[in-house]
Amino acid sequence: MPNPVAASGDRSARLIPRTRRRLAPRLLLTALAASLALSGCGTVQQVRTLVAGPPSPFLAGYIGNVAADEPVAALTGREVLARDGNAADAAAAIALALAVTLPSRASLGAGGACLAYTPGARSVPEAFLFTPVAGTGTPGPHGRPASVPMLARGLFLMQARHGSVAFDDLVKPAARLARSGITISRAFATDLAAVSGPLLRDPGAAAIFSHDGIPYAAGDQLLQPDLAGTLDSLAEAGVGDLYAGLLWQQFTAGADAAGGGLTLADIHDAVPAQSTALVEPAGAERIAFLPPPADGGLGAGAVFEAGGGGAGFADGAVAAWRAAHPDARNGGDYAAEAQSLLASLAAGAGSGASLGRLPASTSFTVIDRHGGAVACALTMDNLFGTGRIAGTTGIVLGASPAREPRPLLAAAIAWNPGSESFRAAIAGSGQNEAATAVGEAMLAALHDRSATAAAAVPTGTGRVNAVVCARGLPGDPASCHAGTNPNGDGLATRSD
C-alpha cells in the first residue's frame, strides 16, 4: 500500500514515516527476536494539548473512525489518524494509551490479540497473538503469580507489519499522558471501585491509585511519573529495552520483589506470533475471526455461523476447543483445526457447555481513511492483574494464566474481496459474553449496515466496539460510522 505520509504534500503536521519493510512472517519474527536480544471528563481540546503538543494543522475531511472502552485512549487514536497515521499506527497508540488510562485491563503487563487488515488485491486480515504467558519462576511466600508483559511486543509486531510511522512516535502520547496526568474516566473508576479493597492493601498500588488510602474516583486527576519514565525508555531505547535491556532487568527485579515469579528468561523468550485468521463466508463478504489461543474468536465464529442463539454456542465451541488443546500457546498454527470445529458446530454439535467465570477484557476498533482496519482485545487475566506493581516501572503486573482461567479475546473484521474493501470491524469486551457479543454484533452489522445497531446488541455483560462502512471503504466514507456499547462508558469518534 502506498505510504500516505510520503504521498502527502505537507509533512509539517504529520507523523514521521519510517522505512516500510515487508518481511515474511518467519523473517519478521527472527528480526523481532533479535531486536528484542484517549464519556471521559476532559475535553477534546485538552486531550489534543496533552497528546499532540502545540496546536498544528490536521488533515481535513474524513480521517477514519475509532471506538474504544475508554474515551481518552479513543481520542489518542483519533489524533494519530488526524496526523495521517494509518489504522495500525492508531491501534498501537490506543493500546499504549490504555496502559495509562485503563491499567485495570490493559497495562504494559497485559496481553491480547489483534486482527489487522490492509485493503488490496487478495488481502486477508492477519491475526497477531500476544496472549498472556505464565512465568516459570517461584512466587514469593505471599506472592501472586504474574504473566509475562506481552503488550508492547505484540503491538510492535502488528505495527511493523501494517504501520506507516516510527513506533516511538506512537509511544510518546502515552508517556505524555502518564506524566501530565489524566482525568479518571468512569470506565476506570468503575474497575477501581470493584477491587479497591484488596488492590489498595498493596503499598505500591495504593501509592498510585489512592489518596491517603481513599481510591480515586471519576473526575480525579491521576499522575503516573514512574510509568511515564518506563514509556520514555520504550520510546528512546526501543521496545527491546523491556525484553533485553536495562528496563528488562529493572522490571524483572520489581516483579520478583512483588512476588510475581518471573525470570529474566521468561520475559526475554516470550514472543508474539502472527497467525492465520479463521475466515467464514457471508455472501459476497468474508469474516475473519481471531484464532486460538485467542479462542473468543472461535466462540464468536460459532455464534455467527449459528445466526445468533446466545452464549451456549460460544461457550460450547470454546469448551470443546480447550478440552482438546489445554496447552495452546502463541505461535501454534491452530486455524485449520479450529475451522474444522466451526464446521462441526454449524452442523449442530457442541453447544450448551459452561466455562465458569472468566477474566475481564477491554477492546477497541479503528479504521483509517484508506480502509485499513484493526480490531483488538486486551486483558490482564484479572482486574488489575495481580494487583501489584513491578518496582519503580509503574507497570501493573498481569495475572498468570496458570492460576486464572483464560479470557475470551474476541474480534472480527468483515471485508469484500471482490471490491477489495473494508466493511466492518467488531471487538468484544467484558467477560463470558464478550465472544457472543462479537458474533451477534457482526450479524447486526452486516444485516442493518449500522455501527450503532451492532454496538447495541443486548448481550448482558458483553460489550462491543464497532466500526461499520455500509457501502465499503475504499468507496463511500460517508457510509462509515463507529459505535460503542450504550451500557458502557466508552467513546466512538465521529468521521470528521
**Tens of each residue's pLDDT in the chain, 496 residues:** 333 333 333 333 446 565 433 333 333 333 333 333 333 333 333 333 334 444 445 788 999 999 999 999 999 999 999 999 999 999 999 999 999 999 999 999 999 999 999 998 678 999 999 999 999 988 877 779 999 999 999 999 999 999 999 999 999 999 999 999 999 999 999 999 999 999 999 999 999 999 988 999 999 999 999 999 999 999 999 999 999 999 999 999 999 999 999 999 999 998 999 999 999 999 999 999 999 999 899 999 988 988 876 657 788 888 888 888 877 888 777 878 888 887 776 655 455 567 777 889 999 999 999 999 999 999 999 999 999 999 999 999 999 998 778 889 999 999 999 999 999 999 999 988 899 999 999 999 998 878 888 888 766 778 999 999 999 999 999 999 999 988 889 999 987 6
In a domain, 311, yes or no: no
Residue 136 inside a domain? The answer is yes
- Mind listing the pLDDT tens digit for each residue in 122-135? 789 999 999 999 99
Nearest-CA neighbor of 392 among 190, 255, 232?
255
Instruction: Report the alpha-carbon distance of residue 417 to residue 288 in Å, rounded.
Output: 12
Per residue in 404-425, is it b (16+ CB within 10 Å) or e — as a string? bbbbbbbbbbbbbeebbbbbbb
Polymer length in residues for the chain: 496
Count of Cβ atoms closer than 10 Å to residue 478 Cβ: 12
State the pairing for strand pair 147-148/126-130. unpaired
Check residue 17 and give its pLDDT.
Answer: 65
As given in the structure block, the three cell numbers for residue 237 are: 531505547
Residue 472 lies in a domain: yes
Residue ranges making up the domain that contains 156: 32-185+224-274+355-492
Conformational region of residue 310, where left means phi above 0, alpha means psi within -120 to 50, and beta covers everything else: left
Residue 138 included in any domain: yes
In the numeric block, the cell 473508576 is attached to: 189
45 domain-assigned: yes
Place of cell 525508555: 233
Domains identified in the chain, total number: 1
Kindly state whether residue 95 falls inside one of the protein's structural domains: yes
Domain contains 330? no
pLDDT single digits (tens) 207-227: 999 998 899 999 999 999 999
Long-range CB contact pairs, 7-12, < 8 A, 24+ = 8/84, 10/57, 12/56, 12/57
**Identity at 55, one-letter amino acid code:** P
**What SS3 string covers the chain?**
CCCCCCCCCCCCCCCCECCCCCCCHHHHHHHHHHHCCCCCCCCHHHHHHHHHCCCCCCCCCCCEEEEECCHHHHHHHHHHHHCCCCHHHHHHHHHHHHHHHCHHHHCCCCEEEEEEECCCCCCCCEEEEECCEECCCCCCCCCCCEEECCHHHHHHHHHHHHCCECCHHHHHHHHHHHHHCEECCHHHHHHHHHHHHHHCCCHHHHHHHEECCEECCCCCEECCHHHHHHHHHHHHHCCCHHHHCHHHHHHHHHHHHCCCCCCHHHHHHCCCEEEECEEEEECCEEEEECCCCCCHHHHHHHHHHCCCCCHHHHHHHHHHHHHHCCCCCCCCCCHHHHHHHHHHHHCCCCCCCCCCCCCCEEEEEEEECCCCEEEEEEECCCCCCCCCECHHHCCECCECCCCCCCCCCCEEEEEECCCCEEEEEEEEEECCCHHHHHHHHHHHHHHHCCHHHHHCCCCCCCEEEEEEEEEEECCCHHHEEEEECCCCCCEECCCC
Entry pTM: 0.88
Decide if 242 is inside a domain.
yes
